[in-house]
């Protein structure tokens, strides 16, 4: 029975992330888990592809955890890429505005790397979604930044927020991946552990 499979055979699931969106998405799988995040320096080596960067950062976040025999750790990192430039989290309104202007009237990629780690195994993968924005006016960009303050979001936006509702014309791939966790892939990998 599926409900029995999702009990993870007595394993304790830990989400190693401060993201409220990842917590919400993992909870939507009806799994019991604890949240315990540790700060890491998110510096990555030069020469990596965008996919490799997302996977490297997800793995980097898992390194700080030493799981016990009954624990499974999930860590993740989401990056937004346009013209092979990675748009991180903005620290000012000006940075946020510049990022959204770059995304306006074009497509970009959102890549989430995920690491699933137990005492004996570790598996890291990524999922990519193509997101298409229509033309955003300066007034729309200013309103969104002032109202939603997207300073904790890569690329300066949340797909589930107002800017996604009025601006995104098409996505190719997982919507939930853009929110920060490709739950379909996480679910499949956890079933393999069960």
Kindly list the catalytic residues.
77
Q: What is the 3-state secondary structure (H, E, C) of 135-167?
A: CCCHHHHHHHHHHHCCCCCHHHCCCCCHHHHHH
Q: How many CA atoms lie within 13 A of 169 on its CB side?
A: 11
Q: Distances from the Cα of 131 to the Cαs of 59, 92, 174, 177, in angstroms?
A: 25, 23, 10, 11
Structural tokens at position 133: 């924005």
Both ends of the chain: CA-CA distance in Å?
A: 12
Q: How far apart are CA 92 and CA 89, in angstroms?
A: 9
């Amino acid at each position: 029975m599926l409900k029995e499979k999702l009990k993870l055979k007595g394993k304790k699931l830990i989400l190693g992330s401060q993201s409220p969106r990842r917590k919400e998405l993992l909870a939507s799988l009806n799994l019991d888990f604890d949240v315990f995040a540790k700060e890491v320096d998110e510096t990555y080596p030069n020469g990596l592809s965008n996919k490799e960067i997302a996977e490297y950062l997800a793995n980097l976040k898992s390194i700080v955890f030493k799981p016990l025999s009954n624990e499974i750790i999930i860590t993740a990192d989401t990056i937004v890429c346009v013209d092979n430039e990675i748009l991180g989290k903005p620290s000012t309104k000006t940075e946020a505005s510049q990022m959204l202007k770059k995304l306006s009237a074009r497509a970009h990629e959102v890549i989430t790397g995920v690491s699933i780690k137990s005492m004996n195994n570790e598996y890291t993968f990524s999922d990519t979604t193509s997101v298409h924005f229509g033309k955003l006016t300066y007034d729309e960009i200013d309103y969104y930044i002032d109202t939603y303050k997207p300073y904790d979001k890569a690329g300066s936006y949340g797909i589930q927020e107002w800017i996604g509702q009025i601006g995104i014309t098409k996505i190719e791939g997982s919507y939930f991946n853009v929110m920060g966790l490709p739950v379909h892939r996480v679910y499949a990998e956890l079933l393999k552990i069960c």
